[in-house]
Amino acid sequence: MSTPDYVTYHDEEWGRPVHGDDALFERLSLEAFQSGLSWITILRRRPGFRAAFAGFKIAEVAEFTDTDRERLLADPGIIRNRAKIDATLANARELAGWAPGDLDALIWSHAPDPAGRPAPRTLADVPAVTPESTALAKALKKRGLRFVGPTTAYALMQACGLVNDHVEACVTRSAPQGARGTAQPATTNPRPPTAP
């Protein structure tokens, strides 16, 4: 973790509770785009993603047309992966039909009890998939969302504060505590030794 933007993301955002359907749609979409890539690649392009996808406002992205899709496929400010772009657009259309707060409620209903999760001592102790992330991925897919496998679901859970995977010695480990389950704007967070 050598770049300042990565350190800032870790220290100020990663692992902090995120609520709100649009904020969670953004995180879910970015985690899907990250699949197979490094997080720093996505982080550095996040302003481009936000501009290209109307700030990840579900209602607006759901209205994107074929012209918008072609614009996205040609946009050098984002990852121009056809399958990931199509999944993001399809997910927005699906989510536009959900009641307000449904995405937030569904995601947070899969947060494990923090009392049963000891602090990881090293990054080797941090899982890539858990039973909760597998259940979350299954629930999201059942509701019609795409590109949401168990690994992507777990990365979302880590980034949005459903789990606290800051290692035991991490200076920001205690920062996410106490804010669990309360509505907060998406910000920037904690520094894992090598994660997020």
Catalytic (active-site) positions:
9, 31, 39
Cis peptide upstream of residue 196 (ω within 30 degrees of 0):
yes
User: How many whole angstroms from its chain centre is CA 11?
Assistant: 16
Q: Using CA of residue 148, residue 149, residue 153, residue 156, what is the dihedral sign?
A: negative
- The kind and range of the H/E element at 33 are helix 21-34
For 80, the token pair is 């121009």
Q: Is 10 annotated as a binding residue?
A: yes
User: How many whole angstroms from its chain centre is CA 100?
Assistant: 19
For 47, the token pair is 């302003």
Q: Is 166 annotated as a binding residue?
A: yes
User: How many whole angstroms from its chain centre is CA 61?
Assistant: 17
Query: Known binding site for Zn(2+): residues?
Result: 10, 166, 170
Query: Known binding site: residues?
Result: 10, 166, 170
